[in-house]
A and B are shown apart, each in its own frame.
Chain A
């Protein structure tokens, strides 16, 4: 029973990792760039959200307004950072996101502040009573609801990516800028869309993580949790981010419980990286990544 409980709560916390990883995957899919600034975007979104709420703005309106801020940010990023760098090597764009990371961290704390803010989005972090009575399992209601929210977001994103014109355009842009433009895909608009989408993911991740940890600077470091998820799942697979998040979540909790005692505990923090590394030996593109095609 205890094992099952650990397993389930691991899965649910894994969903939270997936959420952060998803933000990376979106931008990677559409531009081939690892967005180092994703953590800072989570921080910015969460801080903006929490400060709007503290101003007395209703929850739903604050969420929409924060999304608006993230859209404006996306437009700025496209106009002033990406547009001048069209057709530059990917490493240049990667360096750019490192700079952007520091800029956004600073901006978020300069505009708002660097205090720790409690965030209450109306879901209590208490055991799910119904489930406890029925099965005896102690599972946090908050975990369940955030897992549902994350799943909803994922379903929407995968439909948009795989079944629509915009999604096809996004995939096309990630493959070849020149070719994408030649078939009439406006690169600039696509970039705004994808950065806005990843802003939305950052907002959801920020709100959920912020509720759990409090909105503070360390939220930007949560992004590091996404790294092993990305390696495990593959950088360009939405599905991969989800499944890998679940695997990492469950395995790090189970690992802590079963292997932890033999090595003095505390393996939760590095276990995901070990797991990710082992997967790399076997599948360099990750579990769900696009197969690497190389013609010699």
Chain B
């Protein structure tokens, strides 16, 4: 087997044929602006799926539709074979976690507390038990604390555990945000430009974390990214959007060779 084939077969084992999420004919408009025009694609269980496209292509809108921030005018989303519109907090309880393009962290809270909120819905005991810190509630709290510590160890952010996140540099804040999403032990992880605004070293770290998450926990990842080279390196399949429409869908190599994609990114003279 050649090296490429080996990588390919490793990917085949990781990715199952099972479709985790299927997006069908989504149309979304804000007044006269058509953000998404009839977009369909699916996400297989275990893969790293990228959504790319030039500015204003509708990438973030797509992600917002997936986790229920926006409800599309037309189209359906099947998640684990079931359809139905979700609100963001319902999506979270069903195993869909996300990060945001412009960081959405609890700035006044520490790294630890931020990541702990990711486990909020895992805590079943009601607050009276918790207030008393007694018996089952105590045990549950320490279990969750352990899970959070694993995430902290995984992302190598032990040293900033007690720092309010508002004080951290941007790259680390992004990492904390990823940590919070991971703490929920999601089945589907949505990352909105996880590498924007990072320097080369931070980008490499983030790539490594994304690959490790996918590899170690088997988490399905759907990510939006601007940086083409990064996307091509880490994703299994890529959807390309332009002006709200899907113009290509396939493996990185297929997409790279696609004339419509080249035109969209480089621009064509009409």
Interface residues in chain A, defined as those with a beta carbon under 8 Å from any beta carbon in chain B: 156, 159-160, 163-169, 171-172, 174-176, 178-187, 236, 290-291, 293, 295
Contact = CB atoms under 8 A, between A and B. Distances in A.
A290 B92 contact: no
Interface in B127-145: 127, 130-131, 133
Contacts of A186: 89
Nearest to A179: B104
Contacts of A175: 105-109
A164 B131 contact: yes
Contacts of B98: 182
By size class, the interface of chain B is: 20 to 34
Contacts of B105: 175-176, 179
B56 interface: no
25 contacts: A163-B131, A164-B127, A164-B130, A165-B123, A165-B125, A171-B106, A172-B106, A172-B109, A176-B104, A176-B107, A179-B180, A181-B69, A182-B181, A183-B97, A183-B120, A183-B184, A184-B89, A184-B120, A185-B89, A185-B121, A186-B89, A187-B89, A236-B108, A291-B164, A295-B166
Given A163-B131, A293-B107, A181 B120 contact: no
B258 interface: no
B95 to A, nearest CB: 10
Contacts of A159: 131
Interface string B149-174: 00000000000000010110000000
B118 interface: yes
A176 B166 contact: no
Interface of B: 67, 69, 87-89, 92-93, 97-98, 100, 104-109, 113, 116-118, 120-121, 123, 125, 127, 130-131, 133, 164, 166-167, 180-181, 184
A184 B119 CA distance: 9
A186 B120 CA distance: 11
A169 B117 CA distance: 7
Given A163-B133, A165-B130, A290-B108, A182 B113 contact: no
Nearest to B98: A182
A256 to B, nearest CB: 37
Given A164-B127, A167-B127, A183 B92 contact: yes
A290 B110 CA distance: 12
Contact of B120 (A169, A176, A295): A169
Nearest to B130: A164
Contacts of A178: 69, 88, 100, 104
A137 B218 CA distance: 71
A183 B131 CA distance: 22
Contacts of B93: 184
Nearest to A181: B88
Contact of B131 (A160, A179, A236): A160
Nearest to B93: A184
Contacts of B69: 178, 181
Contacts of A185: 89, 92, 117, 120-121
Contacts of B107: 175-176, 293
A165 B128 CA distance: 10
Given A163-B133, A165-B127, A175-B107, A182 B67 contact: yes
